[in-house]
Amino acid sequence: MQKSITMISVGLLIACRASAQSSVTAYGLLDSGISYISNEGGHASLKFADGMYAPNLMGFQGMEELGGGTKAIFKLEDQFQLGTGSILMPGLFGRNAYIGLDDARFGTLTLGNVYEFMFSSLTGAGNSPGLTTGGLHNFPAGPFQKLALPANATGWFDWSNTSGTPVHNAVRYQSPTFAGLSIGALYSFGGVAGSFGSNSAVSLGMNYDAGPLGIGAAYTNRKYPGATGGSPQISIRNWGVGAHYAFGQILATANFVTVRNEFNGAHAYAGQLGGTWQISPIWSLGANYIYMKGNSELDNNHASQVGALLNYELSKRTTLYAEGVYQRANSGANASINGITDPNGSSTTPTQAIARVGMHTVF
């Protein structure tokens, strides 16, 4: 069930099977398609776009048995643009680059460039409707152009961090699962001499899984240099909760996520509901709804967004899909659907729509 909505997980499973044989494997995800955008900076556009349903990834993952149930593990993973072949994240392995130890009794410790728990405990654990109902366009963005998030493509792009933002120079621990419950913690070293906490990050996660039910919660605080490269630090805080439940051929998902820029006081939240229906072994249908709201620093802007996705499975690894997304903001605001990385790509009106057809595969 649900094979069409978790292609990212399928790719990871391919890697895990190879790891169980004490080997190293290469794996990847590829997505490309054609998108129509109703209003992008004041004009309609028709364009080739890739990495929307899922990111384009190429990686290497492996392990070594050390005895007594302990393994040495590593991952090197790059994200790139399929249309140009160019590297998308900074560095050769900007998506993931870590080494660590994994033990069934004591948990997993990794060191390097890793995901924080807004991704791992929510999206990675299946508790984000955007993952199952069309990908990047179905994660929160909205009319929050004044968020001013540092190191961000637009300043408000993917502000919930639930689609996967790696954290550099990090030590991360994930506990084993006891009675369905697991916890995790991460600390990222800023590396600033004389100021231990500068440019650092802290992230915490908790998950509970019991058969068809899964629940996750996460908190992340990342600090960035000020406008002049020094003090004061800009602290960005995220927290969120999510859940999923599978019954028959239907998977229901919901979450609530927030962001706060402590420097300018801008705060926003989003509540999202989604569901997918495996109509047949080769056809599946998904839909979701998001409500987003900003505080007075964001002009009290708010927006509603709906999305729908139709998948057709050519094989266990390759999918054809069609999706549509529509967002309506309040009067005077500029609608902005996630996945448009041009800072001038917001709509010039309170509405924006995207229609897309594409193809996705894993290897």
Residues of the chain short of pLDDT 70, as ranges, are 1-21, 193-194, 227-231
Residue 50, both tokens:
């890739």
Give the predicted TM-score (pTM) of the model. Answer: 0.90
Q: Which residues contact 182 (CB under 8 A, 6 or more apart)?
A: 174, 175, 176, 206, 207, 208
Looking at residue 13, what is its pLDDT? 39
What radius of gyration do the chain's Cα atoms show? Answer: 20
Q: CA 291, CA 300: separation in Å to the nearest integer?
A: 13
Looking at residue 22, what is its pLDDT? 80
What are the CA-CA distances from residue 187 to residues 57, 98, 171, 280, 331 (Å)? Answer: 25, 14, 5, 44, 41
**DSSP 8-class letter at 117:** H
Q: Is 203 helix (H, G, I), strand (E, B) or coil?
A: strand
Instruction: Give the max Cα distance, the chain.
Output: 63
Q: Look at residues 272, 269, 303 and name the one whose alpha carbon lies nearest to residue 286.
A: 272
Q: CA 321, CA 285: separation in Å to the nearest integer?
A: 10
Residue 44, both tokens:
């309609």
Buried b (16+ CB within 10 A) or exposed e, 338-363: bbbeeeebbbebbebbbebebebbbe
Model pLDDT for residues 85-99, shown as the tens digit of each residue: 888 877 789 999 999
Q: Look at residues 95, 83, 135, 113 and name the one whose alpha carbon lies nearest to residue 201.
A: 113
Looking at residue 7, what is its pLDDT? 42
Q: Look at residues 233, 257, 255, 230 and name the one whose alpha carbon lies nearest to residue 245.
A: 255
For every residue of 58-96, DSSP letters joined together read EEEEEEEEEETTEEEEEEEEEEB-TTT--B-SSSTT-SE
For every residue of 27-64, DSSP letters joined together read EEEEEEEEEEEEEETTEEEEEEEESSSS--EEEEEEEE
Location of structure tokens 């494997």: 25
Segment holding 343, helix H or strand E? none
Q: Is 13 helix (H, G, I), strand (E, B) or coil?
A: helix
The full set of domains in the chain, from first to last, is 7-362 (2.40.160.10)
For every residue of 276-327, DSSP letters joined together read EEE-SSSEEEEEEEEEEEE-GGGTT-EEEEEEEEEEEESSSSEEEEEEEEEE
φ, ψ of residue 20 to 5 degrees: the values are -60, -15
Q: CA 170, CA 334: separation in Å to the nearest integer?
A: 36
**Length of the chain (residues):** 363
Q: CA 126, CA 245: separation in Å to the nearest integer?
A: 10
- Is 207 in contact with 121 (CB distance < 8 Å)? yes
Model pLDDT for residues 57-71, shown as the tens digit of each residue: 999 999 999 988 999
CA dihedral 85, 89, 92, 96 (to 10 degrees): -120
